[in-house]
Structure 1
């Protein structure tokens, strides 16, 4: 059973080791490919036997006859000669192939070890080949020279070698990237789970990967569970209190209707209506509706319907955008957000403009008004619950300070963003990107 390193450091070391090992094996393969042998071990053994025979024949013959006798020992693939002196330089110590070849010759004929062979490699008359050229020292200082054809394949061109090395680098990088991707996948899953939890979509994921990542995942899961439980408890408590308040409010409304003083009756009725609206806003903010499935809808029709409804209610509102725009989104949630923002603008402004634009695979809806707006340094704060701009917005507009917070929460649940800016009408601009 294979065991992988448990920790992050061990797995990173494994990735580095695998990349280096692949690089080493690849370089060895390239080296072998550049110096491909064209001679078999059996042929080398015959070369060794021929050299031993040539050594004996040259030693027994007069110097004047040695060259002729060597030519008589020629055979296919091997030419011999005798020279009193040689210009052949030994490259055995600098070329691995020559080291291996000399060792193979000595193994085949141990007598060759008495005086070291001089070996080198020269281009062959045959295209695409290289020959083994050598000199066998004799006892009197002369040499038996030989040439074995073919010995090695010609080295590939520089361009081909460069291409081979680039392919090797690409292979090493591909393997390293695949292993690194598998290494960071648990971290990516954890990040996606944290992002989903931040958007109000808590999710579970498999706790796998290095030991450190599993510990972080377990801690995150425990924290998420505690936070969800805490939010659920607070929401249930707030909903319960809001529901319980409605009964005494209804009793107070009945008592207010019985008051003889019309002015006092109207004041109390107005306060009770504001309390009723406040409770409704709280319930709308904390309720946990079933998640709506996204589907392909005509967003332009949804936006224009909201604008038409506001026009029927007496608002000075206009629409700017395409007649149709088919996008996949959550239509019911989008309607609630638009109605909420338009209703908010109607309470604080006299002119409203709603625009729709296509943006890549999604769309952007902007609700602008000519109201007092919100200062730039307080816009982020106004997206939080129970925040009101009574000094800047109408002091008699009512509301619980939850309109923008409800819209921002709903847009985030849909996977979008809600931003506040200054409108072209010098009021507030609410920009929704989905």
Structure 2
């Protein structure tokens, strides 16, 4: 579009400089030649007329495009020297006319950069004929050419902008849809635009439907398996109660407890993908303080530091789940958890810190991956299931916030959440 605009502007500027200038000079030469011929004729008429009648005759010979008058040598006075800047104009007016060549014609009265030609012609008897040819030097049309170029360039720019917008709208729609692939927020594309764009839209629609089916099948299968495992686990717990071996009974019950916790974690993660909880204005400070008090009542080393009031648009249950996962991680791996809240005019900053060993820098960016655990063991007491931080990252992102993990300078890990106070909640998926 801009290349086309530049080309149009260049063509019109070039035509203004060359073609219109050439046309101007052509018109000027024709008019000057005509004025020269009339001056020669008028000079002959005045020369053949008695001096007493020449002034009257000069007035009669005058027209709107050429005014002449007759002067005696005394009336003319001292002639001004014709400036060199008018020499070219002198030659163009004289042309092949012998009577106008040399110093007989004097254009010293012409003012540069004007349209009028003013001067005197010496007659054979020594008297002078003054003349004024108004508005015969046409001004160059550079300004008009530039204005014309600007008008046409504006029209081309408007038309090109509308054309580009019409062609790019389907592409922008494709980009928007591609950004929602697999998120559950997909809206089918309309089959409109150029043929290639329509083909691409149909391909993306088909791909999105397949992805949605795969995600739905995976979620339903995992949720069904996790839910159905509760029944045999309950039977195992019941049968373990009839064992005479106390150690075996204790180990079986511990394994069952671990499996139930793993199932609960999977169900919590999968249920979050279809979480229908609406966002509402809530006192985040109260939610944090209540959770910290509950943990402290259970004998856990958990403290809170922050204001008593901090309103924000959040999903309260999701926020409680996020906070619970972070506190559990801090207590399990760091021995304690310190929860702090900083309320700004636009955002809330929640930090959960511990005094543990922290995480290797290479692992910090990977621990939010579902089912990823830093430790290699499969023991719940050490490695967990690897879903806690994945749930935190997902829920915070849905609330329009940011989740960041980093090692503290004096030891320990800090989990930081930044939430907008007037968040636009993203749909689940």
Normalised to the residue count of structure 1, the TM-score between the two structures is 0.66
Cα distance between partner residues in 2 of 1:245 and 1:279: 8
Cα distance between partner residues in 2 of 1:52 and 1:91: 13
1:305 matched to 2:290? The reply is yes
Secondary structure, counterpart of 1:433 in structure 2: strand
Between stretches 284-293 and 387-396, larger displacement belongs to: 387-396
Determine which of 328, 331, 341 is the counterpart of 1:343.
328
Match of residue 372 from structure 2: 387
1:147 matched to 2:160? The reply is no
Between stretches 208-217 and 218-227, larger displacement belongs to: 208-217
Cα distance between partner residues in 2 of 1:325 and 1:168: 57
RMSD between aligned alpha carbons? 5.3
Match of residue 186 from structure 2: 202
Q: Cα deviation per residue 1:71-98 (whole Å; 9 max; x = unaligned)?
A: 5533567534799x995534999xxxxx
The structure-2 alpha-carbon separation of the partners of 1:312 and 1:260, relative to structure 1 and needing over 3 Å to count, comes to: same
Match of residue 309 from structure 2: 324
1:408 matched to 2:377? The reply is no
The structure-2 alpha-carbon separation of the partners of 1:351 and 1:302, relative to structure 1 and needing over 3 Å to count, comes to: same
Tell me how far 1:422 sits from its aligned partner.
0.8
1:89 matched to 2:76? The reply is no
Cα distance between partner residues in 2 of 1:283 and 1:223: 27
Determine which of 352, 370, 374 is the counterpart of 1:367.
352
Larger radius of gyration: 2
Cα distance between partner residues in 2 of 1:123 and 1:271: 117
Cα distance between partner residues in 2 of 1:92 and 1:264: 125
The structure-2 alpha-carbon separation of the partners of 1:90 and 1:30, relative to structure 1 and needing over 3 Å to count, comes to: closer
1:122–1:132 contact (8 Å) kept in structure 2: no
Tell me how far 1:392 sits from its aligned partner.
9.8
Determine which of 65, 74, 85 is the counterpart of 2:62.
74
Cα distance between partner residues in 1 of 2:109 and 2:379: 96
Between stretches 358-367 and 345-354, larger displacement belongs to: 358-367
1:340–1:407 contact (8 Å) kept in structure 2: yes
Tell me how far 1:270 sits from its aligned partner.
1.3
2:358–2:411 contact (8 Å) kept in structure 1: yes
1:253 matched to 2:237? The reply is yes
1:17 matched to 2:16? The reply is no
Secondary structure, counterpart of 1:275 in structure 2: helix
Secondary structure, counterpart of 1:89 in structure 2: helix
Match of residue 426 from structure 2: none
Tell me how far 1:275 sits from its aligned partner.
0.7
The structure-2 alpha-carbon separation of the partners of 1:172 and 1:49, relative to structure 1 and needing over 3 Å to count, comes to: closer
1:352 matched to 2:337? The reply is yes
Secondary structure, counterpart of 2:62 in structure 1: coil
1:22–1:172 contact (8 Å) kept in structure 2: no
Normalised to the residue count of structure 2, the TM-score between the two structures is 0.67
1:197–1:203 contact (8 Å) kept in structure 2: no
2:66–2:131 contact (8 Å) kept in structure 1: no
Determine which of 219, 237, 247 is the counterpart of 1:235.
219
Cα distance between partner residues in 2 of 1:236 and 1:91: 99
Match of residue 244 from structure 1: 228
Cα distance between partner residues in 1 of 2:156 and 2:313: 39
1:58–1:70 contact (8 Å) kept in structure 2: no
Tell me how far 1:61 sits from its aligned partner.
4.4
Q: Cα deviation per residue 1:195-251 (whole Å; 9 max; x = unaligned)?
A: 334655334444555655555444333332222211111111111211221111111
Unaligned residue ranges in structure 1 (runs of 5+): 1-13, 32-36, 38-45, 94-101, 103-112
Q: How does 1:278-297 map to 2 (within 5 A)?
A: 278-287=262-271, 288-297=273-282
The structure-2 alpha-carbon separation of the partners of 1:396 and 1:334, relative to structure 1 and needing over 3 Å to count, comes to: closer
Secondary structure, counterpart of 1:382 in structure 2: coil
2:351–2:416 contact (8 Å) kept in structure 1: yes
Q: Cα deviation per residue 1:133-179 (whole Å; 9 max; x = unaligned)?
A: 389x9xx9x999642159778999xxx99xx99x9999699857787
Match of residue 414 from structure 2: 429
